[in-house]
Amino acid sequence: MKKSICTALTVLCASSAAVAEEEKTRPDPKPSPDVQQITPQLYSYTTELLFGEVWKRPQLSPRDRSLITLAALISAGQTAQMTGHLKLGLDNGLKPSEISALITHLAFYAGWPNAMSAVTVTRQIFTERGIPDEQLVPPSEPLLTLEPDQEANRKAAVAAAVGGTAPDLARYTDDVLFADLWRQPGLTARDRSLVTMASLITQGQAAQLGFHLNRAMDNGLTRTQASEVVTHLAFYVGWPKAMSAVPVLKEVFAARAVKS
């Protein structure tokens, strides 16, 4: 418990420094003038609250905020709003190869059609920014290794819940998702967990959120960061889905507090 608070504080301070750096060099993103004209009240909320405060909160780095915002937009098929956030994500330090890996990851977690639609918008932005194709080739590093005990537990759970009813779905889960997708070096394990959590919250799918939150915390996500993921996403997927995620966090935090 104490240790996790210290970690949180360290991360908090590190992120604060990063934010301070950002602020010096880059102005806040501005919503389109249409927003000011048609919905002046929403314009104030956007400039003062969302970009003026939420994005600057130190509990998550701007880079992580961009990662989960893009995961939410892709999972909800929000192509119209992706343009601005792809640019912001690159400005916030997301690598083109990470955005590529993000889309590929979400093909499995939010469905092929959303991934395919995201590719079209992303190509436009990458072309505009002159990003060379070499930056999109997945790193030629070996596949990541999953923690063997954790993976054995996961496999057993899938076999029990899915194996008897949809054996091929269980097989693809084991052989493609976990033995291949999750081990691709294009994103760290922590980032894949963050992206998966954001996608589940966006889809209103609380059932599998507990598993992925535990996995994220095993991979270094702190309580403070997990809460901030939900707080940040409230603005991007709406309050109701964020609120529905809170009981899952509560339960996982309590279970891990007992164990540690």
Residues 78-97 that bind a copy of itself (CB under 8 A): 78-81
Q: Which of residues 91-150 bind a copy of itself (CB under 8 A)?
A: 100-101, 103-104, 106-117, 119-120, 122-123, 126, 133, 136-138
Question: What residues have CB less than 8 Å from 4, skipping those under 6 apart?
Answer: 222, 223, 260
State in angstroms the smallest separation of the CB of 152 from a copy of itself.
19
Single out the residue of 75, 92, 222, 225 in contact with a copy of itself (rule: CB under 8 A). Answer: 75
State in angstroms the smallest separation of the CB of 119 from a copy of itself.
5
Q: Which of residues 1-30 bind a copy of itself (CB under 8 A)?
A: none
Binding of residue 178 to a copy of itself (CB under 8 A): no
State in angstroms the smallest separation of the CB of 228 from a copy of itself.
7
The tokens describing 211, both together, are: 């598993």
Binding of residue 214 to a copy of itself (CB under 8 A): no
Which region, judged by CB under 8 A, interacts with a copy of itself, from 5-13, 87-95, 145-153, 201-209? 201-209
Q: For residues 5 and 71, what is the distance between their CA atoms, to the nearest angstrom?
A: 27
| Residue with Cβ nearer a copy of itself (25 or 36) | 36
Single out the residue of 60, 76, 195, 213 in contact with a copy of itself (rule: CB under 8 A). Answer: 76
| Residue with Cβ nearer a copy of itself (25 or 165) | 165
DSSP state at residue 28: P
Closest C-alpha to 7, from 147, 230, 217: 217
CA–CA distances in Å: residue 209 to residues 139, 206, 247: 29, 5, 10
State in angstroms the smallest separation of the CB of 43 from a copy of itself.
9
Sign, CA dihedral 50-53-58-62, equals positive
Report how many residues bind a copy of itself under the rule CB under 8 A. 91
CA–CA distances in Å: residue 187 to residues 94, 101, 122, 190, 233: 10, 6, 17, 8, 20
- CA angle, corner 152, sides to 75 and 249, nearest 5? 45
